[in-house]
Structure 1
Amino acid sequence: MSATRGSAVELNALVDPPVDSTPDVVDSVALARLYGEPLFTIPQDLYIPPDALEVFLETFEGPLDLLLYLIRKQNFNVLDIPMAEVTRQYLSYVDQIRKHNLELAGEYLLMAAMLIEIKSRMLLPVKKTDTGEEPDDPRAELVRRLLEYEQMKLAAQKLDALPQLGRDFQRSHALMDLAVEQALPDVSPEDLRSAWLDIMRRARLNAHHRITREQLSVRDHMSQILRRLSDVRYMEFTELFIERIQRGDGAPVVVVHFLAMLELARESLLEITQAEPYAPIYVRLSYTRADT
């Protein structure tokens, strides 16, 4: 009797459950989950910006890329571009991107204007220059830019084909658990002697050569020459320097002594005379004493 009553209670619970655990929409797929709960419809107060779900795939990397694509796709000779056909196809593509992104189309419009200008210049009669030479082809500058761009693009493709870390391979890491025992140095007296000799050798190589500056005065030597010649009427040129050389004065002192003699001659205090070519040279004071 109790078993029959229990079965009846379970049946009533299945027919009329106290809490409805089934979702309102059974056959729909949840659009998203918010705080763990599925969303089957878009909320009415949800604001979606106009460009939020717009995806624009930029097929070409710039105007030169598009122009090079049109030329290579139709096997045109880049040195002899049919400007009319290329310009028409180029403008067709520009019209498509203007509908989606006017800012991006600005760069392409600039190239389109250049193509139209080149085509218009080609329609004009060819006039020779003043020197009689043929004028430059209006397409020459565009061809140069296309060839340079194609070279850079091919070089970039070769670089991209090289294996890259993270894309083509991963860097392996290995953990080595090694016990390192520090070994004490074994130094012998011979090693210490060799090290000391090496230090002394470096000291000799790095020794500084000190040069002292000798203070030499031209005016002082001018006074010495005047005093030397004041007791004689004249003196041979070499005799004026022989005392300096015998005393052991270096070349700088002799040079200053010679400059002092030239300075005296310039100031007309000294006369340098020679009787004839290859004759001895004599030096004397320009002024003479009263008793001479």
Structure 2
Amino acid sequence: MAATQAASIALPAAANDGVSYARLYGEPLFKLPNDLYIPPDALEIFLEAFEGPLDLLLYLIRKQNFNILDIPMAQVTRQYLAYVDQIRLSNLELAAEYLLMAAMLIEIKSRMLLPVRKVDTDEAGDPRAELVRRLLEYEQMKLAARELDAVPQLGRDYVRTQIYIEQSLVTRWPDVEIIDLQSAWADVIKRARLIEHHKISREELSVREHMTAILRRLQHARFVEFTELFDPARGVPVLVVNFVALLELAKETLIEITQAEPFAPIYVRLAYSPT
């Protein structure tokens, strides 16, 4: 239970430094201002701060080491009413909640003073039982809240640090997906059909020859755009064989197919340095 100390304002006596009444911002004050105004509530004494009537009751019981299962109602009620009388002088709205508990304590005390009949003991039991149950539950919740408050919290007990790690400066080209090759190949076929002439002819095409032609073409350039490896004027059969030759070279890791960024042109280069 946090106790707020009495707030007070004290001016050092003139005898402390020989001349001045006080010090204001480090400077000695030799004469009090004529228009000095001190509000009525400037000096206010705060009693122990409680979170409610149950908190006050629990404080009174634990402070005097009373058994919470056998509360001396007369002594606790007397101390409780003394505190309520003090807060009624300064804060009537706050005292209303405490007065309700005071009425409950007086009722319990009155029921304990009445003669105990056998029928009453069998039906009613100890008049303090309900109050003890509420106090034990409140104390349990209060201890749980204190344990939760002791857990380190972000922003109150520690801060989260952020470390920025510079990534490698080596350029890594994005991997070419199958969908990208399909799209580029569909574009080549589309352009080939636009300029295709209807000719019936028989031509023997060799995938190995086209593989050799592609390798020979790549030896003279560092990068060659994918579409430049195809000549639409030679017809769709030649384009198909040329594309199969390109896939065979990629399968045998003789060429690399790269792309600078998504949706960018696709480039082809040799996977080895020609001697």
TM-score, with length taken from structure 2: 0.49
TM-score, with length taken from structure 1: 0.47
Q: Which structure is larger by alpha-carbon Rg, 1 or 2?
A: 1
Structure possessing the higher relative contact order (Cα contacts under 8 Å, 6 or more residues apart)? 2
